[in-house]
A = this chain, B = another copy of it.
Amino acid sequence: MSGTRRQAPNDPGRKDRILDATLEVVARDGVHGTTHRRIAAAAEVPLGSMTYYFDGMSDLLAQAFARLADTMSLQYRRMLEDAADTAEAETAVVDLICGQAYATHRELTLIFEMYAYANHHPEVRSTMHTWLLRSRESLGLHFPEHVCRALDALVEGWPMHRSFDDAPLDRDLVAATVHAVVTGLGGAAPAGRA
């Protein structure tokens, strides 16, 4: 009457360690410099584990990126959940953009890699799409739909500039812009929409 499972894994949690190591290598060397061997070395597991736990390189990267998307989505949502009113929500959005806690340099690098990779791998592309929807949903806790779209574009685009610009982001400018979008778009959808 014992279950089908005869033996527990020798090293539970190893799969997760490999996924973490994958993101580490991708952040350091880019997808184009990521190999099974480097990941194995980073995770301190034998090479054979790569094919044992994952069905090839695409599968490995797909799962690693899914993990990244999940982590980021959760942070995103939490920051907006913690806001009590619209004013605090605006501040949260500014924080997301300025990246004190949200998108560190490492994470930004990973996001770039994921974007690029997603364009050539439908499975990752769909993960990306879900992430997008989740972000919008989080913003939706405080703002109307059309404002969410505009804000999310800012949250996406501005940190990217931060990544290639020497000058640090001007927090006051970001705050002013967010405020302009929120109040400027008003409560109603723009002309031409239902």
Name A residues whose Cβ lies closer than 8 Å to a Cβ of B: 29-33, 109, 112-113, 115-120, 125, 128-129, 132, 146, 149-150, 152-158, 160-161, 163-166, 170-173, 175-177, 179-181, 183-185, 189-193
Contact = CB atoms under 8 A, between A and B. Distances in A.
Number of copies: 2
Given A153-B157, A157-B158, A31 B173 contact: no
Contacts of A164: 118, 125, 128-129, 132
A132 B161 contact: yes
Contacts of A152: 157, 161
- Chain A, interface SS category: helix
Nearest to A180: B184
A180 B132 CA distance: 23
Contacts of A170: 146, 149, 190, 192-193
A25 to B, nearest CB: 12
Contacts of A179: 184
A173 B156 contact: no
Of A31, A154, A155, A180, most B-chain CB atoms within 10 Å? A180
5 contacts: A30-B31, A129-B165, A150-B173, A153-B177, A172-B193
Contacts of A118: 164
A132 B120 CA distance: 26
A167 to B, nearest CB: 9
Given A109-B119, A171-B192, A177-B184, 19 more contacts: A31-B32, A32-B117, A112-B112, A112-B115, A116-B116, A118-B164, A119-B163, A132-B161, A149-B170, A152-B161, A156-B156, A156-B157, A170-B190, A172-B193, A173-B189, A176-B190, A180-B183, A183-B184, A184-B184
